[in-house]
Amino acid sequence: MLSATQIIEDIKKGTIYPVYFLCGEEPYYIDVISDFIEKHVLSEQEKAFNLQIFYGKDSDPLAIIEAARRFPMMANRQVVIVKEAQELDKTDLLTNYVRQPAPTTILVLNYKHKKLDKRTKFYQAVSKSKTCLYFESKKLYDNQIPDWIIKYGTQKNLSLKYDTALLIAEHVGNDLSNIVNELDKLAITLPAGTKQVLPEHIEKYIGFSKDYNNIELQKAIINRDILKANRIIFHFCKNGKDHPIQLTVSYLYFFFSKLLAYHRVKKLPRARIAEMLKTREYFLKDYEKAAQRYTSSKVVEIISLLHETDARSKGIGNISATPCDLLKELLFRILH
């Protein structure tokens, strides 16, 4: 399957399909391709009569087909874009059109946040037709996000170390559109001539504390730095909306699950361990250090505590403990 970059490059070279079906759980690349077609395939003069945009929830498939069957006005082609196509009723009505599309129309279907049911005739049409480009935008894994941030930052003439990229990912999450917005904002607001993005910039321009976050909490727990860990937890308690307990529990669960796996494979070569843990060799030092302080049996106990805390934070087996109470108790039981 072609990447979004390859698809755009092909369009620039004149390789254009009559139908683009763009689907998947990651909407960012769907928007990148669709927006490029909308902005660049037609000239500004041609767009007035030959660019039509529909929205799935408010559109009838038959009206879309009728628009796509029309001839372009004073242009070689027209563009019809259906945004939020996953909201369309009776998508199968488009099946025959996809099989025999109008050669002078570019129909773009943005089917976001999910994939088509492979059992449908429509899926068979869009995935196998030689006149339709089928593109599936897959969600990146969390451990892929920092590298993606570094790569996108390079495109914006920004230099980010892995730890800084990890800080952005921890704060913004894995939604690529949100990440792009924050990096674009950094590219504009950083002092003139500044290329290296530092944690101080993240704190100032994105609004995320470089000292009080889940990354620093994890480091404190690895080092059994009780004072620092408690300071971070107290900060979380004062700023509950910015630091939901479920996110902290999930973050720690991810680490200790990997630590348990590390205990089982720690005698293997480092490169093999990194491959098995799906992490960089750079981060093995954290697991090596943590493994010296937390035995495998203690890690199993901690994972059980995290499961228990997650359930209690959702009201299961919990009558009166606040998220702050639960975090303090969790930290105490991890460190002692």
User: pLDDT digits over 268-314, tens only?
Assistant: 999 999 999 988 888 899 999 999 999 999 999 999 999 999 999 99
Specify the CATH number of the domain 214-335: 1.20.272.10
pTM over 0.85: no
Tell me, yes or no, if the two domains 4-137 and 214-335 fold the same way.
no
Percent of the chain with pLDDT over 70: 100
H or E segment to which residue 21 belongs: strand 19-24
Residue 264: how many CB atoms within 10 A of its CB? 11
Question: Considering the domain 4-137, what is its CATH architecture?
Answer: 3-Layer(aba) Sandwich (3.40)
pLDDT band for position 33 (cuts 50, 70, 90)? very high
Residue 118, classified by CB atoms within 10 Å of its CB into exposed (0-12), middle (13-18) or buried (19+), is exposed
How far does Cα 31 stand from its chain's mean position?
13
Which of 189-203, 248-262, 320-334 is predicted with the least confidence, judged by mean pLDDT?
Answer: 189-203
pLDDT at 41 over 90: yes
Structure tokens at 246: 């479920």
The whole-number pLDDT of residue 278 equals 86
Angle at 169 between CA 181 and CA 269, to 5 degrees: 145
Question: Considering the domain 142-206, what is its CATH architecture?
Answer: Orthogonal Bundle (1.10)
The whole-number pLDDT of residue 263 equals 96
**DSSP bridge pairs for 111:** 23
Residue-averaged pLDDT of the chain: 93
* 156-186 pLDDT per residue, tens: 999 999 989 988 988 888 889 999 999 999 9
**Pairwise CA distance, residues 200 & 209, whole Å:** 8
The whole-number pLDDT of residue 184 equals 94
Sheet (strand 78-83) strand order: 51-55, 78-83, 105-112, 19-24, 132-137
Domain map (residue ranges) of the chain: 4-137, 142-206, 214-335
Quick check: 152 and 179 in contact, CB under 8 A?
A: yes
